[in-house]
Amino acid sequence: MYKRRELMKGLAAAGLFTGIVHKAMAQAGQTDYPGGYRESVEPVPEGTSTFATVREGVLEGVAAANGIRYFRGIPYAAPPIGTLRFKRPAQHPGWRGTRKAIENPAAPIQALQDAINSNAPADTKVSEDCLTLSITAPSTAGPHPIYVFFHGGGNSSGWQLEDRVDGASFARDGVVFVTVGYRVGILGFLELGKLIGPEYAGSGNNAVWDQIAALQWLRANISAFGGDPDHVTIGGQSAGGYDVCAMLGAPATAGLYRGVISQSGGDGTVLTKDEVYASADVVAAAFAKRGIQGRDILTAPVENFVDKVPGFQNAPFVDGDLLAARPRQTIASGVNKNVSLLIGWNRDEIAGLGKDASGPVFERFKAFHPGLTEEQWKRRFGATRLFGAPSWMIADGHSSAGGSTYAYYWTWAPPSGKNAGFAFHGAEMSYVFDNVEALRARYIVPDAAIQARATAMHALWVNFVKTGKPTAPGVPAWPQWTPAARNYLEIDEDFKTSEWQDAQLALWRDEAK
């Protein structure tokens, strides 16, 4: 039986919390993460200076000839360094004069030497001073709706400027697009309350508190960039998809957004207190071998936080403060029920997650998917267990509480290249951002059909941000997921609607708890 404890062990073994998962992708021939495909990120386009006045001071960005304004590396909180390490984000003190917001911001502390582990180029600066955000906005006055995107990377790596995330595609369609940097790995998810004192209780959720602080900053300041603070949608993919589901289940985020988009997310990695304490003990033991014990971690050289500690789990936990219970439970109880939700996952996701699949649950799963090879069965089982079932539970909970809910299932697989035949993890990203040129790095040559799919997919996301309803020319009407009908949009060669049968969901209701 794939009960929760076996699931968590499987996830740790697969490396979701350590970043090894991306290495597994490469070994399996799956190359959906962009790290290593570019030597550096493209700079802000040339243009004239443009200015925005925010709470902390004046910012200078660039107004480009394409009708888009760019601001990069805007601090939304004080740098979490010195006495603020492992503390919740604090308000930035501000600056005198005008601060240039043109240069690429630092990525959070992480290992970049193995490019597969990160969506940041190998020459990216990493720093504890990473609580910044970047804004790509239409030059017109607005007010425009806002889409805030949280990057993936297993919550152990990642960067706000990954190449697939092209904010210009949203800005050209009248949306203010924001990407957010937040603490990852040990600095973002290590729970120190039990190890060094109650003043650090809840530090294991600091990365999510970073994300919430960014939303609070945007609510106070986004109008300076032409955004409507009452018209915010948050979204993310992979770890970012998990994190936005955690925020959807957190009462502290009420009123900060009106829509949520979770791509390959859910709440399957959310930890209990016992699990997060055990994870902290793993770090304490590893650091003790380096002569770093107890409160020494508060002042330890930052180099100690670059490499991952095997067995440490980078995930939010049920602390009784941010989360009173697992998100699927708080969401089902009505937390943020007035928010519109778009949630989905990809058929095959990550190689290796189902490699040890066996037993009665696996056999029942196979019966729903006849005609596959053993490798295909195991991969789809792993994908459903980690991404599909948790997403179903979130969708079920939100819709049962009365929330507007839309679900998708990405099944299109490239016919050639290293990912041939698999609807892999992150496959939808270049389509959501109408950025098909980024597919070349994944050995997929864009053609007219791919561009048409990207145009439609991007329109679905844009219209959801604008109206709370995903619509696009040429795409069938997307019915809501409800307790009576688990409708979803399947995205393959064409777009088509279908419905999950209750027997399929029943297979996972107990197993995914």
Taken in order 76, 82, 83, 86, is the CA torsion positive or negative?
positive
**Regions of the chain short of the pLDDT cut 70:** 1-41, 113-118, 352-354, 441-443, 510, 512-513
Q: Which two tokens stand for residue 16?
A: 């979701």
CATH class of the domain defined by 4-509: alpha beta
What are the backbone angles phi and psi of residue 133, rounded to the nearest 5°? -140, 160
Quick: pLDDT tens for 199-219.
Answer: 999 999 999 999 999 999 999
Q: Which two tokens stand for residue 372?
A: 């596959």
What are the backbone angles phi and psi of residue 455, rounded to the nearest 5°? -60, -45
Helix and strand element counts for the chain (H, E): 15, 13
What pLDDT was estimated at residue 442?
65
Q: Which of 270, 268, 424, 430 is nearest to 352 (CA)?
A: 424
Residue 262 CB: number of other CB atoms within 10 A? 30
Distance of CA 244 to the CA centre of its chain: 7
Distance of CA 408 to the CA centre of its chain: 16
Taken in order 404, 497, 426, 392, is the CA torsion positive or negative?
positive
Strand ranges for 299-364 from DSSP E: 340-346
Contact call for residues 162 and 143 (beta carbons, < 8 A): no
* Euclidean distance between CA atoms 298 and 304, whole angstroms: 11
What pLDDT was estimated at residue 80?
98
Is 49 exposed, middle or buried, given 0-12, 13-18 or 19+ CB atoms closer than 10 A? exposed
Q: Which two tokens stand for residue 462?
A: 């844009």
Q: Where are the domains of the chain?
A: 4-509
Ordered alpha helix ranges (H), 384-447: 389-400, 429-432
Contact call for residues 259 and 285 (beta carbons, < 8 A): no
Helix (H) or strand (E) run with residue 379 in it: helix 374-383
Contact call for residues 194 and 204 (beta carbons, < 8 A): no
What pLDDT was estimated at residue 107?
94
* Euclidean distance between CA atoms 471 and 113, whole angstroms: 41
| pTM for the structure as a whole | 0.92
CA-to-CA separations, 162 to 39, 159, 321, in angstroms, rounded: 12, 6, 32
What pLDDT was estimated at residue 16?
46
